[in-house]
Chains A and B, each alone.
Chain A
Amino acid sequence: MYKIVSAIFLAENIKKIEIEAPRIAKKRKAGQFVMIRVGDTSERVPLTIAGSDPEKGTITLIVQGMGKSTRELNSKEAGDTIHDVVGPLGAPSHIEKFGTAVSIGGGLGAAIAYPTAVALKEAGNYVITINGARSKELVILEEEMKAVSDEAYITTDDGSYGFHGFVTQKLQALIDSGKKIDFVLAIGPIPMMRAVAEVTRPYKIKTVVSLNPIMVDGTGMCGGCRVSVDNQIKFACVDGPEFDAHLVDFKNLSDRNKMYLTEERQSAEAFAHQCNLHKPA
Chain B
Amino acid sequence: MDAQSITPKERLAIPRQEMLSQDPVVRSHNFQEVNLGYTSELAQKEALRCLQCKDPACIKGCPVNIKIDQFIKLIAEGDFLGAARKIKEDNVLPAVCGRVCPQEDQCEKTCILTKKYKSVAIGNLERFAADYERETGNVELPSVLPPTGKKIAVIGSGPAGLSCANDLVQLGHAVTVFEALHELGGVLMYGIPQFRLPKEIVQAEIEGMKKLGVIFIPNAVAGRSVTVDELLKEEGFDAIFIGVGAGLPWFLGIPGENLLGVYSANEFLTRVNLMKSYQFPDNDTPVFNCKGKNVAVFGGGNTAMDAVRTAKRLGAEHAFIVYRRSEAEMPARLEEVHHAKEEGIEFLMLMNPLEFIGNDEQWLTGAKCLRMELGEPDDSGRRRPVPIKGSEFVLPVDMAVISIGNGSNPLIKQTTPDIEVSKRDTIVVDINTMATSKENVYAGGDIVTGGATVILAMGAGRTAAAAIHEKLMGKKG
- A residues near B (Cβ < 8 Å) are 23-24, 27, 37, 41-44, 68-69, 83-89, 216-217, 219-224, 226, 228, 233, 238, 252, 255-256, 258-260, 262-264, 266-267, 270
Assembled-state Cα–Cα distance A224/B281 (Å): 20
Kindly identify which residue among A27, A86, A223, A258 contacts B182, using a CB–CB cutoff of 8 Å.
A86
Q: How far is the CB of A250 from chain B (nearest CB, A)?
A: 13
Among B220, B224, B264, B275, which residue has the most Cβ atoms of chain A within 10 A?
B224
Contact B270 A222 (CB under 8 A): yes
Kindly identify which residue among B218, B221, B276, B284 contacts A84, using a CB–CB cutoff of 8 Å.
B218
Assembled-state Cα–Cα distance A259/B257 (Å): 14
Q: Which segment, of B110-118, B164-172, B244-252, faces chain A?
A: B244-252
**B302, CB-defined interface residue at 8 Å:** no
Known A41-B276, A255-B260; judge A87-B224 contact (CB<8 A): yes
- B residues near A (Cβ < 8 Å) are 180-182, 218-221, 224-226, 247-249, 251, 257-258, 260-261, 263-264, 266-267, 270-271, 275-276, 280-286, 288-289, 361-362, 409-411
Kindly identify which residue among B225, B248, B251, B266 contacts A27, using a CB–CB cutoff of 8 Å.
B225
Assembled-state Cα–Cα distance A24/B248 (Å): 24
Q: Which single residue of chain A is at the shortest CB-CB distance from B406?
A: A221
Contact B362 A223 (CB under 8 A): no
Q: How far is the CB of B110 from chain A (nearest CB, A)?
A: 34
Chain A contact residues: helix, strand, loop or mixed: mixed
Q: How far is the CB of A69 from chain B (nearest CB, A)?
A: 6
Kindly identify which residue among B264, B282, B283, B284 contacts A223, using a CB–CB cutoff of 8 Å.
B264
Contact A41 B271 (CB under 8 A): no
Contact B409 A43 (CB under 8 A): no
Name the A residues within 8 Å of B289 (CB-CB): 262-263
Contact B248 A220 (CB under 8 A): yes
Q: How far is the CB of A228 from chain B (nearest CB, A)?
A: 6
Contact B411 A219 (CB under 8 A): yes
Assembled-state Cα–Cα distance A228/B362 (Å): 14
Name the A residues within 8 Å of B264 (CB-CB): 222-224
Contact B267 A216 (CB under 8 A): yes
State the 6 A-B residue pairs at the shortest beta-carbon distance, nearest first.
A263-B286, A222-B267, A86-B219, A221-B247, A223-B264, A255-B362
Q: How far is the CB of A271 from chain B (nearest CB, A)?
A: 9
Name the B residues within 8 Å of A224 (CB-CB): 263-264, 267
Contact B271 A216 (CB under 8 A): yes
Q: Which single residue of chain B is at the shortest CB-CB distance from A226?
A: B258
> What would 16 more interface pairs be, CB under 8 Å, given A27-B225, A86-B220?
A43-B284, A83-B182, A87-B225, A217-B180, A217-B181, A219-B247, A219-B411, A221-B248, A224-B264, A224-B267, A226-B258, A228-B258, A233-B251, A256-B362, A259-B260, A267-B281
Contact A216 B247 (CB under 8 A): no
Contact A219 B180 (CB under 8 A): yes
Known A86-B182, A264-B286; judge A220-B410 contact (CB<8 A): yes
